[in-house]
Chain A
Amino acid sequence: MTALHLRRAGMALAAILLLIWSLGPVYWALATSLMKPTDIAASPVNLVPPSITFEHYAKLVGGLFGQPDETGIWRDFLRALGNSLVLAGGATIATTAIAAIAAYAAVRLEFPGRNLVFYMIVATLAVPGYTVLIPLYRMMVGLGWVDTYGGIILIYISAYLPLSMWLMRSVYESLPLSIEEAAFLDGAGRLYTMVRIVMPLALPGLIAAAILTFLGAWGQFAVPLVFAPTAATKPLTVLIPEFATKNYVDYGLINAAGVFAMIPPALVVIFLNRFLLSGLMAGTGK
């Protein structure tokens, strides 16, 4: 064995360890969700389900397919899934759109105090969310926005906009100004140039901002715990822990719900990732 082989083997081992580290919990959730409650509780623990059951999944979505439903859990679950999608989706679209426009203004438009405004928005990144939770709650109660989609999405926007703006600003700064100037001389206005020239070139950045926002909003727990008290807006992150009651922790159900909750972010990443084409900028100059 040469040193090169050794290095290859070492790298492969590291990759495998990393894979186990990150995918282990996912496997564990999937395996548990497919086990009978007795197998879950068995000692020593079962690493592989001794027998497969779909009873937990049936509890969550069986009602949809006309199965008898004793608990009513499926209604709560689907409602929460819908809420999660609306909240995360709404926050993603709004945040990305605002960041796209605001960061462009911060980079390309000359106006007094533009850097001040930008840095003030980005500085809010440094404020820990929990420190503003209570004052924010009083404000939202005052406005009657607690337990509304709009109110919660607004909070998500304020939480994720700074990061997206920061990202988009560096994306715009990396685009050669001369491309936009060429468009002006070709007879295009600011808006047309932005929509037809700048946005397509900034697409990878927009996608990255959208992914980050969606993942962040999808996993949000503290904000909906406070601001989404009822089934009207309660998302999965708040509902799933409620499956653990004082007397009984339904591991199977929790993990089955967890597996469902993994699907949308996984789809978003897989789908949007395809647009993260690298080398889109190649060929402008030289």
Chain B
Amino acid sequence: MTQVQIAQLRKSYGHHEALHGIDIAMESGEFVVLVGPSGCGKSTLLRMIAGLEDVTSGAIAFDGRVMNLVPAKKRDIAMVFQNYALYPHLTVRENMGFSLKLRKVPLPERNARVEAAAESLGLGHLLDRFPRQLSGGQRQRVAMGRAVVREPALFLFDEPLSNLDAKLRVQMRTEIKQMHRKVKATMIYVTHDQVEAMTMGDRIVVMRDGIVEQAGPPIELYDRPANEFVAGFLGSPSMNMLDAVLSADGASAVLGDGSHVALPGHVEGGAGRALRLGLRPEDLLPSETGIPFEIDVIEPTGAETIVMLRNPAILGEGSLCLLLRERLPLAPGQELRIAPKPGAAHLFDPGSGTRIDPVLRSEPLRAAAR
């Protein structure tokens, strides 16, 4: 159980700065997911926490104690690597017991702990095999087992599931969460898969180009993304982004074809203010009175149907993605009128990309709330 505080952390490789001042505070026992596109610095940050990379400036502290200069072997951290990094010349038992042996845990206790961990991961019958004699999924479990056996204060995972097939990935996701509930240690989990981030994290930290774009509980990030990047990154299919302008009364966004989308409140800036209007695919519903689009592509997945819509006046060359839960008799080329769910519109400033929160119009209500 460890609190992790990261303050103004920077990392430079030569003249190239990979992390530009990261601030994160992690509660003890929390499951934090670092997510972001490739090259944004997730692994670098994780490796700095592990002590595998030097800190250029800023601080990493565990429970208030600055760790910048503490070597990796003294940090009491277990890490599961993307390529598992098992010791190829040691058996599963020796791999899992390596750290205990180093800490001079007596053999009977070591064996007991290794066997208990192996049992809980379904590796009981594989203890005397070498890594080369295991399947990818089994190797992944051994790597997890090696981490669990140690009972460390902090677990780090660097894309541990990216080499597994889709089905195993879903299964391991659940097992890692179960493990977290059981051992109650602080865990930091790196992934570039937003589904993993949403499903696993108590808290998500979205990174891009060496900075933190937003941090918070998954649903909060999903419902109130702080900027256009986070909005587009979380959610699959990702959020539709439309160019729009503000109406004269500040209460609706006007699309390219002149149709209005009602906003959940009032926006400053006056008529004609350029806006980016974000609409999640599941927040769009067919409606007799909606905006007309032409159906381009229909992709049924069974449980739901993804429909790609076109309307050059609104979208230019782009298309609008719609996620339907019910099965409608649709065909490409048909017209489909859709309307966003009330209050579902997200607004962003086209220049900075930051979120614009409409102000509630009902002043008396706000006064009463104060």
Interface residues of A (CB under 8 A from B): 176, 178-179, 181-189, 192, 197, 200-201, 279-286
B16 within 8 A of A: no
B217 within 8 A of A: no
Contact in complex: A286, B83 (CB < 8 Å): yes
Contact in complex: A187, B99 (CB < 8 Å): yes
Given A283-B131, A283-B139, A286-B163, A179 and B87 contact (CB-CB distance below 8 Å):
yes
For residues 246 through 285 of chain B, which have their beta carbon under 8 Å from a beta carbon of chain A? Answer: none
Quick one: which of A181, A187, A200, A282 contacts B103, CB cutoff 8 A?
A187
The 6 tightest CB contacts between A and B, nearest first, are A283-B132, A285-B83, A283-B131, A186-B99, A178-B85, A282-B132
Q: Which residues of B contact A197 (CB under 8 A)?
A: 87
- Residue pairs across A and B with Cβ atoms less than 8 A apart, 12 shown, are A182-B146, A185-B77, A186-B102, A186-B146, A187-B73, A192-B102, A280-B89, A283-B86, A283-B133, A283-B134, A284-B131, A285-B85
CB distance from A69 to the nearest CB of B (A): 51
CB distance from A282 to the nearest CB of B (A): 4
B62 within 8 A of A: no
Q: Which residues of A contact B52 (CB under 8 A)?
A: 181, 184-185
A181-B134 Cα distance, complex, nearest whole Å? 22
Contact in complex: A184, B72 (CB < 8 Å): yes
Q: Which residues of A contact B85 (CB under 8 A)?
A: 176, 178-179, 181-182, 284-285
CB distance from A246 to the nearest CB of B (A): 58
A282-B79 Cα distance, complex, nearest whole Å? 21
CB distance from A108 to the nearest CB of B (A): 13
Given A283-B132, A283-B139, A284-B131, A183 and B88 contact (CB-CB distance below 8 Å):
no
Q: Which residues of A contact B87 (CB under 8 A)?
A: 179, 182-183, 197, 284
B: contact size bracket: 20 to 34
For residues 69 through 85 of chain B, which have their beta carbon under 8 Å from a beta carbon of chain A? Answer: 71-75, 77-79, 81, 83-85
Quick one: which of A181, A185, A283, A285 contacts B78, CB cutoff 8 A?
A185
If over half of A's interface residues share one DSSP class (helix, strand or loop), that class is named, otherwise mixed; here it is: loop
Q: Which residues of A contact B83 (CB under 8 A)?
A: 176, 178, 284-286
CB distance from B296 to the nearest CB of A (A): 39
Q: Which residues of B contact A181 (CB under 8 A)?
A: 50, 52, 72, 79, 81, 85
A189-B72 Cα distance, complex, nearest whole Å? 9
A184-B74 Cα distance, complex, nearest whole Å? 9
Extra A-B contacts (15), CB below 8 Å, given A283-B130, A285-B83: A178-B85, A181-B85, A182-B79, A182-B81, A183-B87, A184-B52, A186-B102, A187-B73, A187-B99, A187-B103, A188-B98, A189-B73, A283-B88, A286-B136, A286-B163
Q: Which residues of B contact A283 (CB under 8 A)?
A: 86, 88, 130-134, 139
B203 within 8 A of A: no
Q: Name B158's closest neighbour in chain A (CB-CB).
A: A178
Contact in complex: B86, A183 (CB < 8 Å): no
Contact in complex: A186, B98 (CB < 8 Å): yes
B150 within 8 A of A: yes
